[in-house]
């Protein structure tokens, strides 16, 4: 290696962006800053500018940026064994498996790397269950405005209207109905149906919370028809909604549940969990190169352990309620048409379709938030965020709204 090729200092921002632009496929338009450091609720760019992060990698960094407990766990594991093989036991897989099954209503786990992959596994499991127990039923009922990931099958399952026509032909076997409409699900069930798949809160769809009657009704309906209830808790799970899993607040248990995002607190790890009687996979049916990878397992153990030890889901519920209360108090001044959410997954509807502009101006003012729709703003801070940080966020948000509305 030549002396010139040894990089000792980060290159200037413009060079880093130029390299990224010239070498990466263009799939997203990014602002002109390069993020280089994160701690707790804050992230810094290469120029030293500090941002209050109420995005946290799309509800991923549940313990905030670079939490010491996660740093310690992955550093220790990296020194022991980063990657064994999915076909060999390692010392961490059973530990995370037990943490999740002991603390949920599900009995068995399969680990993978992304939410979409976990959902693909859920779909395969449901189809295999249908083949084995339901006369070959294979269709899954999903909902409009749902989001289950970006693999071709999950794009087919998701209910994003603007994905219609994209990458066609889609994977067949999905029937979409309106969210929170139990009768629509009842009408859509046929002898071909093997499962119903919903998010307890539609996150990407604009923070739409499932009604208690709806999820309870879905559970009852699935039992009546002998089909499976799959809950996609990729965004709602691991404390985000105020309990370790959102389903706990509905007094029901899913047959299959998927997790991702918060599970690794920033490290890519996801899981598919199921009740014993649904676990119909046989050896060779499911797998992944990074399944149960020790480093990912160590991250999951650290995050879930911390959630339980410090009762962080409870804290998320208290802070989330406070955030919603404060947003409701601002309703009159800004004309918000709705404030909703569960725990620290919170959305607010603006009176005008200016949400993308609000997000851009907040970014300029040092605040990261997100707009899942033209008039909807979503907040998904670290579950460890403080009241002071919530107030700081609301101050910047209000200032921007005063300019724009």
Binding stretches for ligand PLP (CB under 6 A) = 58, 114-116, 119, 147-149, 199, 203-204, 232, 234-235, 260
CB of 255 to ligand PLP, least distance (A): 17
Nearer residue to ligand PLP within complex by CB, 236 or 361 = 236
Choosing from 147, 174, 179, 245, which is the catalytic residue?
A: 147
Active site includes 275? no
Catalytic residue among 110, 111, 174, 232: 232
Which CB sits closer to ligand PLP, 148 or 354? Answer: 148
* Contact (Cβ atoms closer than 8 angstroms) between residue 252 and residue 216: yes
Residue with smaller CB distance to ligand PLP, 219 or 378: 378
CB-nearer residue toward ligand PLP: 254 or 401? 254
Question: Rounded to the nearest whole angstrom, what is the least distance from the CB of residue 61 to ligand PLP in the complex?
Answer: 13
State the minimum distance, in angstroms, from the CB of residue 149 to ligand PLP: 4
Catalytic residue, from 261, 267, 281, 379: name it: 261
Residues 365, 371, 376, 381, Cα dihedral to 10°? -70
Asked about 147 being catalytic, the answer comes back as yes
Least CB distance from residue 60 to ligand PLP, whole Å? 8
The closest residue (CB) to ligand PLP is 115
| CB nearer ligand PLP, residue 242 or residue 260 | 260
For residue 375, report the phi and psi dihedrals to the nearest 5 degrees. -125, 15
Q: Is 135 a catalytic residue?
A: no
Shorter beta-carbon distance to ligand PLP: residue 234 or 354: 234
Instruction: Name the minimum Å distance from CB 9 to ligand PLP.
Output: 33
Q: How far is the CB of 153 from ligand PLP (least distance, A)?
A: 12
Give the catalytic positions in this structure. Answer: 147, 232, 261
């Amino acid at each position: 290696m030549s002396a010139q090729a040894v990089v000792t200092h980060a290159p200037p921002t413009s060079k880093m962006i130029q390299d990224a632009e010239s070498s990466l496929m263009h799939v997203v338009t990014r602002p002109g800053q390069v993020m280089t450091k994160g701690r707790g609720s804050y992230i810094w760019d290469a120029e030293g500018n500090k941002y209050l992060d109420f995005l946290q990698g799309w509800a991923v960094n549940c313990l905030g940026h670079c939490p010491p407990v996660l740093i310690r766990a992955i550093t220790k594991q990296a020194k022991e064994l980063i990657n064994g093989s999915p076909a060999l036991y390692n010392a961490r897989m059973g530990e995370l498996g037990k943490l999740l099954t002991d603390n949920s209503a599900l009995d068995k786990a399969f680990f993978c790397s992304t939410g979409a992959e976990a959902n693909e596994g859920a779909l395969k499991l449901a189809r295999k269950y249908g083949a084995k127990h339901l006369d070959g039923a294979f269709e899954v009922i999903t909902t409009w405005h749902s989001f289950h990931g970006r693999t071709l099958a999950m794009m087919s399952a998701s209910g994003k209207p603007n994905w219609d026509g994209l990458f066609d032909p889609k994977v067949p076997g999905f029937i979409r109905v309106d969210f929170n409409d139990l009768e629509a699900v009842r009408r859509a069930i046929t002898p071909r149906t093997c499962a119903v798949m919903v998010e307890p809160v539609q996150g990407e769809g604009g923070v739409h919370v499932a009604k208690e009657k709806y999820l309870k009704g879905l559970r009852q309906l699935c039992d009546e028809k002998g089909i499976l209830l799959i809950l996609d808790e990729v965004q709602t799970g691991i404390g985000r909604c105020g309990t370790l899993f959102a389903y706990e607040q509905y007094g029901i248990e899913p047959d299959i549940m998927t997790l991702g995002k918060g599970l690794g607190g920033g490290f890519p790890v996801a899981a598919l969990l199921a009740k014993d009687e649904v676990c119909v996979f046989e050896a060779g049916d499911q797998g992944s190169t990074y399944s149960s990878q020790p480093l990912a397992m160590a991250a999951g153990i650290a995050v879930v352990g911390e959630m339980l030890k410090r009762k962080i889901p409870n804290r998320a519920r208290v802070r989330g309620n406070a955030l919603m209360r404060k947003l409701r108090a601002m309703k009159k001044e800004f004309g918000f048409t709705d404030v909703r959410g569960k725990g620290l997954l919170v959305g607010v509807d603006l009176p005008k379709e200016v949400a993308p502009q609000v997000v851009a101006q907040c970014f300029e003012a040092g605040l990261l938030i997100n707009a899942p729709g033209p008039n909807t703003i979503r907040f998904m801070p670290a579950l460890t965020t403080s009241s002071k940080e919530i107030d700081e966020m609301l101050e910047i948000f209000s200032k921007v709204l005063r300019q724009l509305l």
